[in-house]
Structures are given as structure tokens and as C-alpha cells.
Amino acid sequence: MILQMLKIASCIGTIGTGLLGALRPSAVPGFTGLEITGPRGVTEVRSIFGGLFIGVGAFPLIVGVPATYHMLGVMYLTIAAARLISMLIDGSLKERSNLISLAAELVLGAILVL
């Protein structure tokens, strides 16, 4: 029961991240380190950080099939793996925002694949 509630909360948090990206793209550079240099960048933030995160967060809640939660968990774990590899290659292991993102992705991924 608690695990199911954590999975639902993870989906809602994913949707929340998406809503932030879609509705306030100017907030995304603060937690990603990316720069938006024009209208094309705004569109990318709205579509990827907005639309994608809303869609993958909502899908398990709409469909209700356990495997859809696993899919979202695998997404987070894959992002975490890519982030860790990048942090090692790029020398950004001590960057606080990267460590916070990595921890969040690992926790959400673990919750969702259980």
C-alpha cells in the first residue's frame, strides 16, 4: 500500500516537473544549468521538460498497469546512469545540483521499478 502511494506520488511529481517546464520554461535553467537563447529553446523546454514529463508521468496513472510504472522507473534509472557517466567523464562529480538530480532519479527509479 505504501509503495503504491509512493509510485503515485512519483508520477505526480513527474507531472509537476512537466507542468513547470511547460508553463514556466524560464524556471528550467535554474535547475538544469541549460540556457534558453531564443524561441527555439523555449519550444524545446516546453516539449521535452514539459510535454514528455507530463506524458510519462500521467501514463501509469491513466493506464494503471504495473508495467507502466516500471517503464517510468527504467526511464529515471537510465537518466541516472547517463548522468553518472557524464559526471565522471565531464568532471562534475562534486557539482551539487548534479548530485541532487542523481539522487532524485535513483530514488524515483527504485520506487517505480519495485
Contacts of 72 (CB under 8 A, 6+ apart): 10, 11, 14, 56, 57, 59, 60, 112
User: What does the pLDDT read at residue 69?
Assistant: 97
Q: Does residue 87 register a pLDDT over 90?
A: yes
User: What does the pLDDT read at residue 32?
Assistant: 85
Least confident of 24-33, 36-45, 76-85, 87-96: 24-33
User: What does the pLDDT read at residue 33?
Assistant: 85
As a whole number, the mean pLDDT across the chain is: 95
User: What does the pLDDT read at residue 17?
Assistant: 95
Domain residue ranges of the chain, discontinuous segments joined by +: 2-113
* pLDDT tens-digit series, residues 18-59: 999 999 999 988 888 889 999 999 999 999 999 999 999 999
User: What does the pLDDT read at residue 14?
Assistant: 98
Buried b (16+ CB within 10 A) or exposed e, 65-98: eeebbbbbbebbbebbeebeeebeeeeeeeeeeb
Q: Does residue 111 register a pLDDT over 90?
A: yes
